[in-house]
Amino acid sequence: MKIIILNSSDVPIYEQIENEIKRLIAVGELRPDDALPGMRSLAKDLKVSVITTKRAYNDLEKDGFIYTVSGRGSFVSKVNHEDIKADSVQKIRELLADILKICKTSGINREEVFNLFKEVEDESFRD
């Protein structure tokens, strides 16, 4: 399981871990009942605090993406992919609202916003 975090991101590390695990579930790399790395092991691999991985796992469990078996570890729940998509759509909506506020206060018009989006989209799909 490959989780990528960016220390330079404004998104808290525990949230980046959550998002990466959700992404891996959504694309089918993690399937129902697959074991997740232990919190200590993941913390060591990512060079973060165990408290950070614990927060991510707790949030994922609270949201129904994973479940924990005492003494055995954490596992992927049987997740409805529509729930993952709905969660992602909500986050995207919030981010777009923030972006549009910045654009308005900066005098960036609609056409410029669309052009920026197209540039970023093209860069994202080059790989």
pLDDT tens digits, one per residue of 40-78: 999 999 999 999 999 999 999 999 999 999 999 999 999
Same domain, 70 and 18: yes
Domain that holds residue 23: 11-74
- Has residue 6 been placed in a domain? no
The domain boundary, picked from 74, 92, 108, lies at 74
- Has residue 102 been placed in a domain? yes
User: What's the mean pLDDT when you consider all of the chain?
Assistant: 91
| String of DSSP letters for 83-123 | HHHHHHHHHHHHHHHHHHHHHHHHT--HHHHHHHHHHHHHH
- Has residue 47 been placed in a domain? yes
Same domain, 54 and 91: no
Total number of domains constituting the chain: 2
Please name the residues in contact with 22: beta carbons below 8 A apart, sequence gap of 6 or more. Answer: 60, 65, 84, 87, 88
The proportion of the chain whose per-residue pLDDT surpasses 90, expressed as a percent, equals 69
- Has residue 4 been placed in a domain? no
Confidence of residue 80 (pLDDT cuts 50, 70, 90): low
Same domain, 115 and 88: yes
Answering whether pTM is above 0.85, one says no
Within 10 Å of residue 24's Cβ, how many Cβ atoms? 18
